[in-house]
Amino acid sequence: MTIQTPNGFTLDTSGKRVVVDPVTRIEGHMRCEVNVNDQNIITNAVSTGTMWRGLEVILKGRDPRDAWAFVQRICGVCTGTHALTSVRAVEDALGITIPENANSIRNIMQLTLQVHDHLVHFYHLHALDWVNPVNALKADPNATSLLQQSVSPSHPNSSPGYFRDVQNRLKKFVESGQLGPFKNGYWTNPAYLLPPEADLMAVTHYLEALDFQKEIMKIRTVFGGKDPHPNWIVGGVPCAINIDGVGAVGAINMERLNLVSSVINATIEFVNNVYIPDIVAIGGLYKGWLYGGGLSGKNVLAYGDIPDNANNYETANLMMPRGAIINGNLKEVFPVDLRNPDEIQEFVPHSWYSYADEKKGLHPWDGETTPKFELGPNTVGSRTNIQQIDENGKYSWIKAPRWKGHAMEVGPLARYVVGYAAGHTEITDQVKDLLGRLNAPVDALFSTLGRTAARALECQWAAYKMRYFMDKMIANLKAGDSATANTTNWDPSTWPKEAKGVGFTEAPRGALAHWIKIKDTRIDNYQCIVPTTWNGSPRDNEGNIGAFEAALMNTKVEVPEEPVEILRTLHSFDPCLACSTHVMSEDGQELTQVRVR
Amino acid sequence: MMESFYDVMRRQGISRRSFLKFCSLTAASLGLGPSFAPTIANAMENKPRLPVLWLHGLECTCCSESFIRSAHPLVKDVVLSMLSLDYDDTIMASAGHQAEAIVTEIVEKYKGNYILAVEGNPPLNEDGMFCIIGGKPFVEQLRYAASNAKAIISWGSCASWGCVQAARPNPTRATPVHQVITDKPIIKVPGCPPIAEVMTAVVSYILTFERFPELDRQGRPKMFYSQRIHDKCYRRPHFDAGQFVETWDDEGARKGYCLYKMGCKGPTTYNACSTVRWNGGLSFPIQSGHGCIGCSEDGFWDKGGFYDRLTNIHQFGIEENADKIGMAAAGVVGAAAVAHAAVSAIKRARDNGDKQS
């Protein structure tokens, strides 16, 4: 039986069902089921968020100035982006402005996250979908050295001896019989296409990136005191700046600024010498694999981020693009209004929540959610041993957010598509350069590889923007402004009786916003819609499938029992399930009186 | 034949001299004297890599993210050479039933000879289905993986105490590991997240000495959790002198004064942030201008606002008040004994200078 979805996909559930649970190398927990036909082509896809923590229930009644610390714990991978979104929401609600230095420091921290997250995602969560470490054992280190020097002439780690050492280490590791994280991988699957030399180069960079990533986050430790989970405040940043006076060791001083500056330089170098060349090299060898476009060529959404000047969240002041594209029409970028009750709404007919009226969608400020774990009648297995999901019933802890009724893709590719369509010159230059080097058409962007490539380009863009804001802050300090916080409305006695606000960022995985209502100085209502809620969305009341599901459609899997291609496409979104699954309960009732197991 | 840590290092072209240097650095980072270096060297020369199953429940993955930031040892060396990280769904290559098969294999093949590391915790409401792995409640995977484990490491405040999802009203009934698994030795390494080098030091210690480090009554390693942030805070002299930050970015903030009045929970928080510090010893929250929020303490989310100063303290600037603050607040969490122990430890430290207490 086939079903036509309103967003243009033909679903056929007649073929063999393949279940992947757990989906690994993601943040949090998810499950994926697909049907494949007799040619091993995916004809139906079902994505299930398999965890729920209820942070918004927990936030009710708390001090809004504390909210950032709670919501920061939504995710320790995109750590900080929820905190930044939260302080922006509170500042929006209470009309609090921040000093220029605080804006620069927040931007540097957010850009640092973008760079770190993208780099770790590519090398440590995604690379093993393309790179075969076992095949790297067959490589000739001399050939690997030549390959390295040809793709990245400036990278110092390129000698035959260097690659031989790494290969020896890998060889002994494999020969030990204890394969650790590589155990039970799909190393004989024909979906792996790289020659051994490229595999060895990429595995080497897996290790180099693992060493380097910890350096990047030092920037956030300088400004935020620790990472993961640095510190933030409503009204600015907690780190004071003191470049002249007594006691400068207690604040941001010249030594700290130099430290940040040197890490920025090293980061730009690493991205240019390692990450981008690897994307070109690996992308070039896989460029015939153009599956996974899904919604990216149809509906994409970005809120924008990185305000150039403080306190201005208008599109023109945001250095990351903002807007929506519908039905693949790149000629028109629609404005997005997070406050308009008719634009962003969440639906739950296929989510484990109940609404009074499940036909309706609700804007986050008016969110209404009660958890309701209930499986569809055609589920195979039992309530606590699900063998096959029934996607006609409720099937995910993720809600279905829609923009004007449309399922949307968010993330680096969505941002790059919006930026490209809006004529954002830095983005169009980068995209044209990459497509030129790969000898690929613009349409190639709308694919799994396009998503992976856009992430790399954005990483490079963000690394340079770190430099921009560092220079901007130094210029501001030179001009005599060293303020980092505005405490005018710090005291709750200065707040109105009721207020509501919205804060947004572009998290590494895509558009992120928090909506807050404050009443009598306490949180009355807190709602987040996060990138993986958009991308990992289940079906809605109209039957539109979400971005993960759409991207898996029509993909050929070489060996259905070995989900390499499914992982490849899901990972290209960098799923973050701890982020995506949340709830707001109107009454915040105690939910703990269920039996002890 | 499984190869030892030393074999692996030698085959990487690392000289014996460098290897021994690594061992003495490890000894130093564990707070052990140089005489322990040969013990570490001996352990690393002769032992196969110990299998580790690293499970993830309700969590935010900040513990894993912290772990990979370890500067000494590098996480690359931990994973390739020190232990055998056979299951960790955040980084493992395989997925689905091939991934699940690994848990079964390790539990069966390495009875009593593998470590279970847990990040996050199991929710018990809704039959455990607020966290589903392989179609089943996470708590089932946890119980099964624990069944033959030699010992369990509870990473971070989620596994140790419950952390943010267990904050009131704890909608999923998120429950710390030791309340679900009661028949295995458990070491708690709390913090949200724990410090990277504390995590890798705990792992190194267990691998080296084949036992847990000395634990306090709550199951935390004493070497990292027996002193309060306040005890070793570099801003402590300003507390003693009555010099405080009164508001963000004021003169005191720029001079690095004490953050006590801004709500700092350093006086009641047991952790190594003010000594080991973060991200390679670079800084810690107080050094970067924000008070400690007490993230390694049980139930720290429900102990008042992060900017509310600790109450019932009427005087400042006299050193002994620091201990009173600590005792009063520790009393609130019902751990007076620990506070007493810590107070005496501080006194000893004060009396003996740098001598080991």
Whether residue A578 and residue B164 make contact (CB cut-off 8 A), yes or no, is: no
Maximal C-alpha separation, chain A:
76
Distance in angstroms (rounded) separating the CA atoms of residues A575 and B168: 28
Question: Nearest-CA residue of chain A relative to B132?
Answer: A50
Distance in angstroms (rounded) separating the CA atoms of residues B278 and B281: 5
What pLDDT score does A582 carry? 54
What pLDDT score does A584 carry? 40
Q: How far is B212 from chain A (nearest CA, A)?
A: 23
What pLDDT score does A247 carry? 66
What per-residue string of b and e applies to B148-183 under the rule 16 or more CB within 10 Å gives b?
bbbbbbbbbbbbbbbbbbbbbbbbbbbbbbbebbee
What pLDDT score does B244 carry? 97
Strands A305-307 and A300-302: unpaired
Per-residue pLDDT band at B31 (split at 50, 70, 90): low
pLDDT tens-digit map of A196-227: 999 999 999 999 999 999 999 999 999 999 99
Outline where DSSP puts E strands in chain B: 50-56, 83-88, 115-119, 132-133, 136-137, 151-155, 186-189
pLDDT of residue A88 exceeding 90? yes
Q: How far is B339 from chain A (nearest CA, A)?
A: 26
Per-residue pLDDT band at A244 (split at 50, 70, 90): confident
Chain A interface disruption, residue of B7, B49, B56, B69, most A CBs within 10 A = B69
Question: Nearest-CA residue of chain A relative to B139?
Answer: A597
Residues of chain A with pLDDT > 90, as a percent, come to 90
Q: How far is B282 from chain A (nearest CA, A)?
A: 7
Token pair of A208 as six digits = 């180099």
Per-residue pLDDT band at B326 (split at 50, 70, 90): very low
Whether residue A242 and residue B58 make contact (CB cut-off 8 A), yes or no, is: no
Q: Which amino acid is at B105?
A: E
Q: Domain B226-352 has what CATH class?
A: few secondary structures
Whether residue B136 and residue A69 make contact (CB cut-off 8 A), yes or no, is: no
pLDDT tens-digit map of B86-118: 999 999 999 999 999 999 999 999 999 999 999
Q: Domain B49-224 has what CATH class?
A: alpha beta
What pLDDT score does B346 carry? 39
What pLDDT score does A249 carry? 72
What would the mean pLDDT of B269-291 be, rounded to a whole number? Answer: 97
A397 in B contact zone (CB under 8 Å): yes
Is there a contact between A577 and A26 (Cβ–Cβ < 8 Å)?
yes
Chain mean pLDDT for chain B: 84
Dihedral in degrees, nearest 10, Cα atoms B72, B77, B82, B87: 110
Handedness of CA B124, B128, B132, B138 (dihedral sign): positive
Of B49, B254, B257, the CB nearest to A245: B254
What pLDDT score does B347 carry? 40
Question: Nearest-CA residue of chain A relative to B80?
Answer: A173
User: How many contacts does A have with B, using Cβ atoms within 8 A?
Assistant: 368
Residue B205 vs residues A7, A359, B216: alpha-carbon distances, Å: 56, 57, 16
What pLDDT score does A150 carry? 96
pLDDT of residue B312 exceeding 50? no
Sorted by where each begins, the domain ranges of chain B are 49-224, 226-352
Distance in angstroms (rounded) separating the CA atoms of residues A318 and A480: 25
Q: Which long-range contacts (CB under 8 A, 24 or more apart) does A279-284 make?
A: A279/A122, A279/A434, A279/A452, A279/A453, A279/A456, A280/A151, A280/A434, A280/A437, A280/A438, A281/A147, A281/A151, A281/A198, A281/A201, A282/A130, A282/A131, A282/A194, A282/A198, A282/A202, A283/A438, A283/A449, A283/A452, A283/A453, A284/A437, A284/A438
DSSP string, B26-94: HHHHTT--GGGHHHHHHHHHH-BPEEEEEEE-B--SHHHHHHTT-TTTTHHHIIIIIEEEEEETTT-S-
Report the DSSP beta bridge partners of residue A353. Answer: A371
Of A26, A180, A592, the CB nearest to B173: A592
* Residues 6 or more apart whose Cβ sits within 8 Å of residue A188: none
Distance in angstroms (rounded) separating the CA atoms of residues B29 and B70: 12
Q: Which amino acid is at A123?
A: Y
What pLDDT score does A588 carry? 36
pLDDT of residue A123 exceeding 70? yes
pLDDT of residue B343 exceeding 80? no
Q: Which amino acid is at A439?
A: N
Token pair of A547 as six digits = 């971005």
Distance in angstroms (rounded) separating the CA atoms of residues A239 and A341: 37
Residue scoring higher pLDDT (B71 or B332):
B71
A26 in B contact zone (CB under 8 Å): yes
Spatial CA neighbour of A141 closest among A201, A75, A56: A201
What would the mean pLDDT of B29-55 be, rounded to a whole number? Answer: 73
Distance in angstroms (rounded) separating the CA atoms of residues B164 and B59: 9
pLDDT of residue B333 exceeding 60? no
pLDDT tens-digit map of A477-495: 999 999 999 999 999 999 9
- B2 chain-A contacts, CB cut-off 8 A: 176-178
What pLDDT score does B27 carry? 65
Per-residue pLDDT band at A1 (split at 50, 70, 90): confident
What pLDDT score does A245 carry? 81
pLDDT of residue B323 exceeding 50? no
Token pair of B48 as six digits = 């196969």
ipTM tops 0.90: yes
What would the mean pLDDT of B21-40 be, rounded to a whole number? Answer: 66
pLDDT of residue B327 exceeding 50? no
Per-residue pLDDT band at A596 (split at 50, 70, 90): very low
Whether residue A20 and residue B96 make contact (CB cut-off 8 A), yes or no, is: yes
pLDDT tens-digit map of A261-280: 999 999 999 999 999 999 99
Chain A interface disruption, residue of B94, B197, B286, most A CBs within 10 A = B94
Whether residue A247 and residue B254 make contact (CB cut-off 8 A), yes or no, is: yes
pLDDT of residue A379 exceeding 90? yes
pLDDT tens-digit map of B52-87: 999 999 999 999 999 999 999 999 999 988 999 999
What pLDDT score does B335 carry? 38
A591 in B contact zone (CB under 8 Å): yes
Q: How far is B175 from chain A (nearest CA, A)?
A: 10
Of B95, B285, B287, the CB nearest to A22: B95
Whether residue A238 and residue B173 make contact (CB cut-off 8 A), yes or no, is: no
CA B40 to chain centre: 21
What pLDDT score does A430 carry? 98
What would the mean pLDDT of A335-345 be, rounded to a whole number? Answer: 98
Strands A498-507 and A510-519: antiparallel
What would the mean pLDDT of A401-420 be, rounded to a whole number? Answer: 98
pLDDT tens-digit map of A538-554: 999 999 999 999 999 99
Outline where DSSP puts E strands in A389-462: 400-403
B68 in A contact zone (CB under 8 Å): yes
Token pair of B258 as six digits = 């004490």
Whether residue B256 and residue A251 make contact (CB cut-off 8 A), yes or no, is: yes
What would the mean pLDDT of A398-424 be, rounded to a whole number? Answer: 97
Distance in angstroms (rounded) separating the CA atoms of residues A17 and A551: 17
What pLDDT score does B290 carry? 98
Q: Which amino acid is at A538?
A: P
- B295 chain-A contacts, CB cut-off 8 A: 229
B295 in A contact zone (CB under 8 Å): yes
Is there a contact between A98 and A88 (Cβ–Cβ < 8 Å)?
no
Spatial CA neighbour of B176 closest among B168, B165, B184, B185: B165
Q: Which amino acid is at A377?
A: P
pLDDT tens-digit map of B151-162: 999 999 999 999
DSSP string, B112-133: T--EEEEESB-B-SGGGTTBEE
Distance in angstroms (rounded) separating the CA atoms of residues A269 and A283: 20
Pick from A144-158, A178-192, A361-375, B58-72: least confident = A361-375
Angle between helices A448-478 and A100-120 (to 10 degrees): 150
- A386 chain-B contacts, CB cut-off 8 A: 132, 135-136
Chain A interface disruption, residue of B9, B10, B81, B92, most A CBs within 10 A = B92
Chain mean pLDDT for chain A: 94
Tell me A312's DSSP state: -
* Cβ under 8 Å to A: B residues 183-242: 192-193, 195-196, 235
Distance in angstroms (rounded) separating the CA atoms of residues A404 and B58: 32
Phi, psi at B206, each rounded to 5°: -65, -40
Report the DSSP beta bridge partners of residue B50. Answer: B83
pLDDT of residue A406 exceeding 60? yes
What would the mean pLDDT of A571-596 be, rounded to a whole number? Answer: 57
Whether residue A181 and residue B79 make contact (CB cut-off 8 A), yes or no, is: yes
